[in-house]
Homo-oligomer: A and B are copies of this chain.
Amino acid sequence: MISYQVVKLKVNFKTLEEFENFREYGQQELSMKEDLEDNIVENDSESPFYGVYYGNKLVGRMSLYQIDKKYDRYFDPPQDYYELWKLEVLPGYQGKGIGKTLVDFAKSLGLPVKTNARQRSDEFWHKQGFEALTYKTERDRGENPFVWFPTGVSEKKELS
């Protein structure tokens, strides 16, 4: 199997144009575009996105953001963790391990990882070593929270 490289994506017009190929395109992308157009952020500034290229084409991406321990409602002991969202591989590039490569990258950073699993994606997340959390209305509000625990970390049992 080919090995893919995960790169941190910069905010620039090329990246934003590539984002238009992805199904999950919303306020996050529009906001980055506006910030760039209005010079609120500089060209090539940091984005929360990581991507995988196939040649010159961005074919997979995810957003990954480190959440401060003080907002942690998922883990025991409470700690910084990564929220992962907008994981997506373009049609035609799926089934090649690109999604797994992105998730493995997130797991390699040494902190727990939390995601909101899309409908019918449970099998994928289980394969990546993630577990479904006990659903709590006041915390999860319709999310399907799946998490990956590094050694020594477990699910927080009570809501604070």
Number of copies of this chain that the complex holds:
2
Mark each residue of chain A from 131 to 150: 1 if its CB lies under 8 Å from any CB of chain B, else 0. Answer: 01111011011111100000
Who on chain B is nearest to A71 by CB? B138
B-contacting residues, A83-137, CB 8 Å: 83, 85-86, 117, 119, 132-135, 137
> Considering the chains assembled together, what is the distance between the CA atoms of A134 and B40 in angstroms?
13
Chain B residues closer than 8 Å to A26, beta-carbon distance: 117, 119, 142, 144
Is B28 a contact partner of A65 (Cβ separation < 8 A)? Answer: no
Is B119 a contact partner of A25 (Cβ separation < 8 A)? Answer: yes
Chain B residues closer than 8 Å to A137, beta-carbon distance: 28, 48, 65
Is A28 a contact partner of B119 (Cβ separation < 8 A)? Answer: no
> Considering the chains assembled together, what is the distance between the CA atoms of A140 and B83 in angstroms?
11
Indicate which residue in B23, B27, B30, B141 contacts A63 across the interface (CB closer than 8 Å).
B141
Given contacts A26-B119, A28-B140, A65-B138, 17 further A-B contacts (CB under 8 A): A23-B119, A24-B119, A25-B119, A26-B117, A26-B142, A27-B132, A27-B135, A27-B140, A27-B144, A28-B137, A30-B135, A63-B141, A63-B142, A65-B137, A83-B141, A85-B141, A86-B142
